[in-house]
Structure 1
Amino acid sequence: MKQMDTLASNLFFLLRCQAARHTHDIATRSSRRAISYRRIWSRIERATARLQGEWQVMPGDTVIYWGNAHADALILYFAVARCGAQLLPLERAEVRALADRVWRMHPPRAVIHDEGLQPAPDLPAGVVATLPELLAVRCPHQERAIEDASLTSLIDLQVEDGKLVERCYSLAALSTQTAQADVAAAHETVEVRDVLFDVPLLAARIFPALARADTVSFS
């Protein structure tokens, strides 16, 4: 229960602790690679530095993720949150079909997409880049992390009854849902398939797995 209390207050702190205590344990696994807790935290720091230093993502900005449940998109989420910005994932086809409207609602500072899955060129953004470009090894900038879990960090858009419905979440709100979830199924495999940024999946399965230093698998 102590880990869940820590998670509800500061998931950033807990991930740093996991990187130190469970250095070589695998945090995420996909067909492409397995990433340890130490490496996932170093990638979060690098992505934060690149978003801020190279792409000028500021607090309150919107970053769009255009992709399908890529393991590195989890790193993107934490990096965006550490910038004080908000991630707007477009993983569902029915929401992508309304991209013009989404862009009007939330003009993005940056669009980060899976390789081979790029938004239409007439959808403007300050930066359009792939996840590998975000996580490229060399980044000369220093991060200036904010780590305010009370700020909105996730915009969830869904089509309900033909209407585009928006819900916003802070990391603190998501983590509180995690602390209230049933986490008795320790070491149960957590597998992500088509959608990563499903709020119940994040709060009740993925965040508890990270709190236990378990592995989140991506298929």
Structure 2
Amino acid sequence: MTSYPTISRDAYQALCRHARSQPDAIAYTSRFRIATYRKLRNRIERAAARLHGEWGVRPGDLVAYVGCGHPDALVLYFGLVCCGARLLPLEDASLQFDSARILAELGVRLALIDDDGVAPEGVASYTLSTLIGSVTTHPALQVSPDPCVPSLARMAAPSDAVPLLQESSLADETGLATMQQCEVRGALFDAAMFPQVLATLAGGGVIGFLG
């Protein structure tokens, strides 16, 4: 089975190729904005530079996303892939309710929240808009991801309601497929949804954020 960091790297490389060959093609749409492939690539590079240069994220670090289905969470994810770090998505309301304890127990370095979200206690937190909202003086960063280290850490709530960290691959044995469009209506990092998002970016298609 192809490792998930490799799939993520391949999707990012495909995204960069689309940014060069079809820079004005639409990568995603939402209620608030439309982003071309060139703009998405630029935002990811800016995010990686800020995560590493200003916020001190290093390879192997765990960064949380506390929100649900925001387009900039996709920028955050690929920014972390470029840094060699991992994302812990807390998109389920039950996990967000207990986020302070979860983040403390797992040693999360920092958390990014939706702009209208509530920052969890006990960890440095920033809104997603600050990730790309201003120019950073730090150079763009790209670290080759370690195929042995999952880039996406998932939380599951077992029957006793105690969250359990599960790191798993979302890639199948066929590798990185391609799609022309997909629609995100809820959680972006859902196990059924996120592979479609990667496949759409690989195919140079359009992602619609409908939340």
TM-score bracket for the superposition, by shorter chain length? 0.7 to 0.9
CA RMSD of aligned residues (A): 2.2
Which AA in structure 1 matches 2:25? D
Q: Per-residue deviation at 1:193?
A: 1.5
What is the correspondence of 1:54-203 to structure 2 with a 5 Å cutoff? 54-120=54-120, 123-125=121-123, 127-148=124-145, 150=147, 151-161=149-159, 162-169=161-168, 173-174=169-170, 176-177=171-172, 179=174, 186-187=179-180, 189-203=181-195
C-alpha distance in structure 1 between counterparts of 2:87 and 2:47, whole Å: 13
- Secondary structure of the structure 2 residue equivalent to 1:152: coil
| Matched-pair identity in % | 31
Gaps of 5+ in 2: 1-5
- Secondary structure of the structure 2 residue equivalent to 1:88: strand
Gaps of 5+ in 1: 1-5
Q: Per-residue deviation at 1:118?
A: 1.7
Which AA in structure 1 matches 2:188? L
Q: Which residue of 2 aligns with 1:215?
A: 206
Q: Per-residue deviation at 1:9?
A: 6.9
Which AA in structure 2 matches 1:113? I
Q: Deviations over 1:156-196 (max 9, x none)?
A: 00213234232214xxx44x42845876xx53x41111200
C-alpha distance in structure 2 between counterparts of 1:181 and 1:136, whole Å: 31
Which AA in structure 2 matches 1:49? A
C-alpha distance in structure 1 between counterparts of 2:146 and 2:21, whole Å: 22
Q: TM-score, normalised by structure 1?
A: 0.84
Q: TM-score, normalised by structure 2?
A: 0.87
Q: Deviations over 1:26-71 (max 9, x none)?
A: 1110000010011100100000000000000011111111111001
C-alpha distance in structure 2 between counterparts of 1:195 and 1:61, whole Å: 23
Which AA in structure 2 matches 1:10? D
- Kept in 2: contact 1:62–1:108 (CA 8 A): yes
Q: Per-residue deviation at 1:105?
A: 2.7
Q: Per-residue deviation at 1:211?
A: 1.3
Q: Per-residue deviation at 1:107?
A: 2.0
Q: Deviations over 1:102-139 (max 9, x none)?
A: 1233222111111110234xx222x3111110002310
Distance 1:15 1:149, change over 3 A: farther
Distance 1:191 1:178, change over 3 A: farther
Corresponding residue pairs, total: 203
